[in-house]
Amino acid sequence: QQQVKQSPQSLIVQKGGISIINCAYENTAFDYFPWYQQFPGKGPALLIAIRPDVSEKKEGRFTISFNKSAKQFSLHIMDSQPGDSATYFCAASKGEAGTALIFGKGTTLSVSS
């Protein structure tokens, strides 16, 4: 049973465009939702995270939108740049940040120049 579903599997966006990646979760006990960025041959790096008590969080060009009733959250990358080309993973966990994470399957983003 896949607890965190991520889409699309791959995404191509033009430089300057908006990249949108979506995730849906099933377990209502999840209350911490981070997004990670991973480059080939490297470990994931935390981009931004949100908790269910807010509907949106913005950090620079990255924004998380959260819909608790729909059990969905999404990552928006504004003004996408070629350097943003990477694989992005959504994740979820219960309790405080730092507990065991359940990852989505990942989205490979390619930003064309």
Residues near another protein (CB under 8 A) are: 34, 36, 41-46, 49, 89, 96-106, 108
Nearest 5°: phi and psi at 82?
-55, -35
Shortest reach from residue 9's CB to another protein, in Å: 9
Q: 30 is written with which tokens?
A: 């999840």
85/103 with CB nearer another protein: 103
Give the nearer residue to another protein in terms of CB position, either 17 or 72. Answer: 72
Interstrand relation of 107-112 and 10-14 (parallel, antiparallel or unpaired): parallel
In whole angstroms, what is the distance from residue 77 CA to residue 70 CA?
Answer: 21
Q: How many residues does the chain have?
A: 113
Nearer to another protein, 18 or 29 (CB): 29
**Of 10 and 112, which CB lies nearer to another protein in the complex structure?**
10
Rounded least distance, CB 49 to another protein, Å = 7
Shortest Å, Cβ 78 to another protein: 23
Q: How far is the CB of 92 from another protein (least distance, A)?
A: 12
User: CA-CA-CA-CA torsion for 11, 13, 18, 24, nearest 10 degrees?
Assistant: 0
How crowded is residue 68: how many other Cβ atoms within 10 Å of its Cβ?
13
